[in-house]
Structure 1
Amino acid sequence: MSFNKLFQFLRDLNKNNNKEWMGEHRNEYHEVRDFYINWLNELDIRLAKIDPDYSPTTGKQAINRINNNLLYHPNKPVYKDHFGAGLDKEKGKGDFYIHIGINENLVAGGFYKPSKEILDSIRAAIDYNGEEFKKIINKKSFKETFGGLIEEEQLKTAPKGYSQDHEHIELLRNKTFAIKHDLTQKEVMQPDFQDKLVEIYQEMLPFRHYLNHAVTV
């Protein structure tokens, strides 16, 4: 089994996105799903060795359902066009998310559109020591890997309790504190793909540690 077969399954599913087809190819689905779960188990072990704060997360715990939630999104297809997974899972921690699909492949981390409570905690940390956060996101290797924060809608004015002329106002206006690294299918299918993800995780560590500390202290 390989990522090549996983992509082929997703392409076939995308052309036949219905319960009948999935029922007929249930064994094939479980084969690619089990392959990905085992691959995630291996990555989980490697990440735990390099990060003392890592929360072990099995592949079964990490992998997301392939079914779309049609109750809240009735116009979406029955099944997703990707396999998503979140490692280092623990309440209060920022995401470490891996997205493998036919239209998009990426690794992401941090807090995407967090709750008001979490957002308030992150803003308080930036207010207290925004220079440390800026040092992390402006590091050359970090910018080369992630570019910068994921661009989402910002507040038009300063958050409540902060002045418009705050030295870190551009950061404080953010509603999302997350980053991503886009991947190609070719990269995913390379023998050293897991090594690449370990490198990305290490580059992401100071960013996630800063945010995790902000929301737990």
Structure 2
Amino acid sequence: MQPWFREDALKFLRGLKRNNNREWFEARRAVYERELKLPMLALIERIMQGMEEYAPEHIRPAAKCMLRIYRDTRFSADKSPYKHHVAAWWTRSGLEKTSGGGYYLHIGHDELVIAAGVYMPQKEQLLAIRRHLLENHLEWKRLIEDKKLRRFMDLHDPMALTRPPKGFPADHPAISWICWRQWGVIAHLPAAEALKPALAANVTKYLRLTAPIVNFLNEPLTAALQKKKKPLFGLYAPVRTRMHSDDEHEL
């Protein structure tokens, strides 16, 4: 299967937006599988070949990267069952359950979206990233203001607080970034880009540019994971030492 899409894929998504109901979708499920799901899985696989160089910790089975087309309507007033796009999210190994920093791609009927960063992090992750910014704000400034990155990608909506979060100094050089509630960059391209055989190579150019900021944002999150694991080893180390000492005493 080719790792790009045909016009029929965009036609399906336009139709789905107008007819967002189970009857319409099920009558055309074969079209969805052929024109969207299979090419998307092939595209994910091709993109991950490049990730071996700049994001090896984000490589996973393609089926686990591709997001469901079904919407979660439990807490939404909009009960339409389907998204109007197909999408993929590459999370970092070890952060699958909490997301962390990753790479995002979606193909809709009207645009192709490429993004990277941390979106809507959990409370612990939010605090960890803010503390990381306190100590490493000069590095973050260099990464997020990189001219080449910003030539191709815009800042994603940071959902910034109107005042500093509790416990953080208002006069700190990084306070504007610390006030953010999510950190990322995004690019919106014409949907026609998804129809080109060079799609995977073009997406890779964008994602490769974002790798430094994704790595920066994941640093405190992966460090927290390691700290959680250490007590497990520490729990057994004294026991082994004590047993060794007792054995020597008996001898």
TM-score by length of structure 2 reads 0.79
Q: Which residue in 1 is equivalent to 2:75?
A: 72
Q: d(CA) in 2 for partners of 1:146 and 1:52?
A: 18
Q: Could you state the TM-score of these two structures normalised by the residue count of structure 1?
A: 0.91
- The residue aligned with 1:205 is 211
- 2:51 aligns with one of 47, 50, 56: 47
Counterpart amino acid of residue 30 in structure 1: E
Does 2:13 align with 1:7? Answer: no
Larger Rg: 2
Q: By how many angstroms is 1:22 displaced?
A: 1.7
Trace 1:190-201 onto structure 2 (pairs within 5 A): 190-201=196-207
CA distance in 1, matches of 2:58, 2:102: 12
In the other structure, the counterpart of 1:122 is 129
Q: Which secondary structure state, in structure 2, belongs to the residue aligned with residue 209 of structure 1?
A: helix
Deviation sequence 1:128-176 (CA, Å, 0-9, x none): 11000000111110111223x3223322222222211111111111111
Structure 1's unaligned 5+ residue stretches are: none
One of 108, 117, 124 as aligned partner of 2:115: 108
Q: What amino acid is aligned across from residue 172 of structure 2 in structure 1?
A: H
How many angstroms apart in 1 are the aligned matches of 2:71 and 2:122?
23
Report the residue type matching 2:61 in the other structure. T
Distance 2:43 2:123 in 1: 35
Q: Quick check: 2:158–2:184 contact (8 Å CA) kept in 1?
A: no
- Map of 1:134 onto structure 2: 141
SS, match of residue 42 in structure 2: helix
Give the aligned partner of residue 60 of structure 2.
Answer: 57
Aligned residues: 215
* Structure with more of its chain in helix, by fraction: 2
Q: Tell me, yes or no, if the aligned pair for 2:125 and 2:221 is still in contact at 8 Å.
A: yes
Gap regions ≥5 residues in structure 2:
224-251
Letter of the structure 2 residue corresponding to residue 13 of structure 1: L
Structure 1 pair 80/161, CA: closer, same or farther in 2 (3 Å)? Answer: same
Shift of 1:201: 1.3
Aligned in 2, Cα 1:154/1:88: closer, same or farther, shift over 3 Å? Answer: closer
Task: Measure the CA separation in 1 of the matches of 2:151 and 2:20.
Answer: 37
